Structure 1
Amino acid sequence: MNSQENCIDLFLEYLQIEKNYSQLTVESYKAALEEFFIFINNEGIEQFERVTYQDIRIYLTNAYKKKLSRKTIAKKISALRSFYRFLLRERLVHENPFQLVSLPKQDKRIPKFLYSQELEELFHLSDESTPSGQRDQALLELLYGTGIRVSECCSLKLSDIDLSLGTVLVYGKGKKQRYIPIGSYAQGALELYLSQGRQQLLSKGKDEHSFVFANQKGGPLTSRGVRYILTALIKKASGTLHIHPHMFRHTFATHLLNEGADLRSVQELLGHSSLSSTQVYTHVSKDQLRNSYMSHHPRA
């Protein structure tokens, strides 16, 4: 194994053990590093120490030529900057050439969220007389009622839910823990599913497991399975809804802020490490804008 590959392995180990990054994040960093590793080898650069700012300019020019999004390029730069920061700490290089590179400005996109009437329609689609219907309803109510990520939802175990207190313990990014209130609707849906539907779904599988949500074959539900459930539900809807699982998280945050919740509380509930990540939800819904205009404009 050459020194470059060894440096990458040491860094990935550092991300997993010291930084407690999720496997998904580690894989993302690994892909960025391997791509950069191929680039510098093609350029005849044998050591990370010999990479210069000019080399990075060529690398970024190639990335832009591939028409990668600003967000994707920003992630690559961030991963490589962290890698060189680690190499500096370990005294494997003498400077961080990525320190001079600025991240591309991001397009400010307002997160898509669901309106109350759209949610109401979704909440009436599940057939709660069936095990899968009870699971689907509990899933919808929990995603909207807590704002947890789909990956966090799929990772939930029975021991993480306390129905007597009405809370759920969530393991977020970096294995950070946070408690979130469940809410009465989500609690009711969960109680029905856990007392009936879950056991019936589990009976179809070969092995018992402690994950809250089970798929049709009794195994643990995956993020892909959640997308499949949503797609199936939307087909029953009368309108032309376009929903992805993360929209429930956007909706949770938007509705809380629109109803007067403070930003810091929403940050805690979402598990954001910085307030800037939460501030994207401070936009106002079109309905609120219209109502405000109609109520206050003299010529409305």
Structure 2
Amino acid sequence: MTNFDFQLDNFMLYCSSKNLSRKTLASYEQSLKLFGKFLQDQFQIEDVKKVQSGHIRQYIKYLRERGKYSVVTDPSSKNNNHPEQRTDYKKDISTTTIANYVRNIKVFFNYLYKVEREVPKNPVENIENPKVERKIKKTLAPEELKKVLGQFDKSAFHGYRNYVITRLLLDTGMRISECLHLQPKSFDFKHKSILIKNPKNGQERYVYFSFKSANEIKSWMRYKDRYSDSPFLFPTTRGTQLELRNYERALKEAGEKVGISIHPHQLRNNFAKYYILNNGDWFSLCRILGHSSVEVTQKAYLDFTDEEIGKKYQKHSPLANMEL
């Protein structure tokens, strides 16, 4: 085992102790293993102390040139995954993906420098993040959401479950990973609130649900208890915790049936945008979403279309609301 591999394993144990999501852990491990392979192949570097800023800049240049799926850390995986058969094989890696790789490398070396004191100088200190062109996230119209919800078979356990999950995500703005961890005891029907105990940032918070959701959740709880004694609110038919990828697939398939592209995080995004369009304020939205600051919330969701801004303006025009 090389020094780089040892430090990476130690970093992953550190991250696991902080209750980061599986998706985040997988992102760290994959991107850092690829970076370690690059260092070994191109510069024969196996020790984190030898990594310099120039090596990271060379890697960013390499990412822009190499193309998707053309490099793997485990050659045997090619026999199972057949990346060369993908339609996007060797196509350009997006700036967003490269920015994520750079961010993960920065987290790793900041850990080595600030937490473990394993490197005498931080090689990521002067590395700038690649500039990502922001894309406006699509706001799904109520008619589109209704069409997607109509594709779930509510007469079947899994269909009814996925229907309720989708509506709850849209009503509360919680993350799908948080939703799948929920237990009935997390709900306070008197105050219409849900205590989120396993959030991304490691802090507990409350999210809130509407009168519509209150009756829906009570009905689902009664239905679920007839078929499962699982502690989870949204279990599989076997009583185990529903995996994120299985819900993602069910939602995607429901959307495809009506020609609508949709994924779980889009429901959180739509919750935030409709909350602001319906005259909610940024401060309370920040608290509900579990962000560290209002600035983080605005950066993530301040991407309204011209049409949406125009409609909001008509509601709040100073002159329209004055008797002049």
TM-score normalized by the length of structure 2: 0.78
1:269 maps to 288
Q: Between the two proteins, what is the percent identity of the paired residues?
A: 28
Q: Which letter maps to 1:57? A: R
Question: How big is the shift at 1:133?
Answer: 4.9
In the alignment, is the contact (CA less than 8 A) between 1:214 and 1:220 conserved in 2? yes
C-alpha change, 1:285 and 1:216, in structure 2 (3 Å) is: farther
Task: Check 1:94–1:231 CA distance in 2 against 1; reply closer, same or farther (3 A cut).
Answer: closer
**Pairs within 5 Å for 1:77-96:** 77-89=102-114, 90-96=116-122
Structure 1 residue 290, shift from structure 2 partner: 5.7
Give the secondary structure class of the aligned counterpart of 1:98. Answer: coil
Aligned to 1:4: 4
Deviation at 1:200, TM superposition (A): 3.9
- 8 Å contact 1:70–1:104 — kept in the other structure? yes
Given candidates 190, 194, 208, the residue that maps to 1:181 is: 208
3-state SS, counterpart of residue 180 of structure 2: helix
1:111: which partner in 2?
137
Change (3 A) 1:62 1:168: same
Mark the CA change 1:243 to 1:46 in structure 2 (over 3 Å): closer, same or farther: closer
Supply the AA of the counterpart residue of 1:88: Y
Q: Given the superposition, is the C-alpha separation of residues 161 and 100 from structure 1 closer, same or farther in structure 2, using an over 3 Å criterion?
A: same
Q: How do residues 156-235 of structure 1 correspond to structure 2 at under 5 angstroms?
A: 156-170=182-196, 171-196=198-223, 198-202=224-228, 208-231=229-252, 233-234=254-255
| Alignment-derived partner of residue 269 in structure 2 | 250
Amino acid in structure 2 at the alignment position of 1:119: L
Aligned-residue offset at 1:83: 1.9
Whole-angstrom distance in 1 between the partners of 2:173 and 2:241: 20
Whose RCO is larger (CA < 8 A, sep 6+)? 1
| Offset, 1:282 | 2.9
Q: Deviations over 1:112-161 (max 9, x none)?
A: 22112223444555555554454233222211110111111111122222
Distance in 1 (CA, whole Å) between partners of 2:4 and 2:150 is 56
Do the aligned residues in 1 keep the contact of 2:149 with 2:254 (CA within 8 Å)?
Answer: no
Equivalent position amino acid for 2:201 in 1: G
Contact 1:131 1:200 in 2 (8 A): no
Q: 1:143 and 1:30, CA in 2 relative to 1: closer, same or farther beyond 3 A?
A: same
- Find the counterpart in structure 1 of residue 62 from structure 2: 62
Partners of 1:21 and 1:173 within 8 A in 2: yes
Q: Structure 1 131/52 Cα, relative in aligned 2: closer, same or farther at 3 Å? A: closer
Query: Which amino acid in the other structure matches residue 241 of structure 2?
Result: P
Contact persistence 1:137–1:189 (CA under 8 A):
no
- Distance of 1:51 and 1:236 partners within structure 2: 49
Query: Match of 1:143, SS?
Result: helix
Aligned residue for 1:39, secondary structure, equals helix
Task: Tell me if the contact between 2:277 and 2:312 (Cα under 8 Å) persists in the aligned partners.
Answer: no
Aligned partners of 2:230, 2:12: CA distance in 1, in Å? 30
Query: Any unmatched runs of 5+ in structure 2?
Result: 67-91, 318-324
Q: SS at the partner of 2:145? A: helix
Match of 1:205 in 2: none
Q: Against the structure 1 CA distance between its residues 116 and 287, is the aligned structure 2 distance closer, same or farther, given a 3 Å change threshold?
A: farther
Tell me the equivalent position of 2:74.
none
CA positional deviation for 1:251: 1.0
- Aligned residue pairs total 287
Q: Superposition pairs for residues 261-300 of structure 1, below 5 Å?
A: 261-279=280-298, 280-285=300-305, 287-289=307-309, 291=311
Q: Deviations over 1:43-95 (max 9, x none)?
A: 21232212222222221211111332222222222222222222223332111
Encode CA deviations 1:144-183: one digit per residue, 9 max, x unaligned: 1101111111111222222233111222113322111111
Counterpart contact for 1:132–1:201, Cα < 8 Å? no
Q: What secondary structure is seen at the aligned counterpart in 2 of 1:100? A: coil
Identify which range, 221-230 or 187-196, moves more after superposition.
221-230
Equivalent in the alignment of 2:38 = 39
RMSD (CA atoms): 2.6
Residue 76 of structure 1, aligned match among 87, 95, 101: 101
User: Structure 1's 262 and 24: CA in aligned 2 closer, same or farther, altered over 3 A?
Assistant: same
**1:234–1:241 Cα contact (<8 Å) kept:** yes
**1:274 positional shift:** 3.9
Q: Secondary structure at the residue paired with 1:180? A: strand
Deviates more, 1:147-156 or 1:78-87: 78-87
